[in-house]
Amino acid sequence: TQPFRMASATANCSKMVEYALHNGYDHVVSMQMGPETGDARHFTDFEQLFEAWTQQMQWLLSLLVRTVNLGRYKDPEFYGRPFLSGISERSVESGLDVVSPVGERGNCWITAFTWVENVDALAAVKKLVFDDKLYTMDQLVDALEANWEGYEQMRLDFVRD
């Protein structure tokens, strides 16, 4: 049996939408994080926003996979788990540490949370900006940069739709 372990990496997937709307820039840490996918103020259709989101998703998950793989490679060398190895059937039978990437299967994964927020946010932008044309991308980016201050009705529209 495989012992229970926590994820090797955790992804805050709502960052994908944030980065798509801000050209890969993270306002929380005040630095460029994701790839530059274009100024959302100039997106003229939903497909451009969706493509930017797709690129941000691919970048973030690729970064996490590479990080996890590097960790799996180095973990047994520096941070073996003797107790977990002693209670893992696979480790006892093979003589390998539980964190060893060698064998029929690894013991790592990426936990992705806030997926629903991606769908909700993209659907709201599609409806309110591109379908109903109630707001522009310029207005949306301004509202987000102001953390919705002065844009309460707009915020409510995005929350409700």
Q: Quick: pLDDT tens for 135-156.
A: 999 999 999 999 999 999 999 9
- pLDDT digit string, tens, across residues 72-114: 778 777 877 888 889 888 888 988 887 777 766 555 678 888 8
77 found inside a domain: yes
Percentage of the chain lying above the pLDDT 90 cut: 60
Under the banding of pLDDT at 50, 70 and 90, the label for residue 2 is low
108 found inside a domain: yes
pLDDT at residue 15 tops 70: yes
Q: Which residue has the tokens 């599609």?
A: 126
pLDDT at residue 4 tops 80: no
144 found inside a domain: no
Please count the residues of the chain: 161
Average confidence score pLDDT of the chain: 89
Residue 117 contacts by C-beta under 8 Å, 6 or more apart in sequence?
A: 13, 14, 17
Domains identified in the chain, total number: 1
Give the range of the structural domain holding residue 59, as residue numbers without chain letter. Answer: 9-118
51 found inside a domain: yes
Neighbours of 160 (CB within 10 A): 8
pLDDT at residue 63 tops 80: yes
CB of 57 closer than 8 Å to CB of 24: no
Q: Which residue has the higher pLDDT, 44 or 114?
A: 44
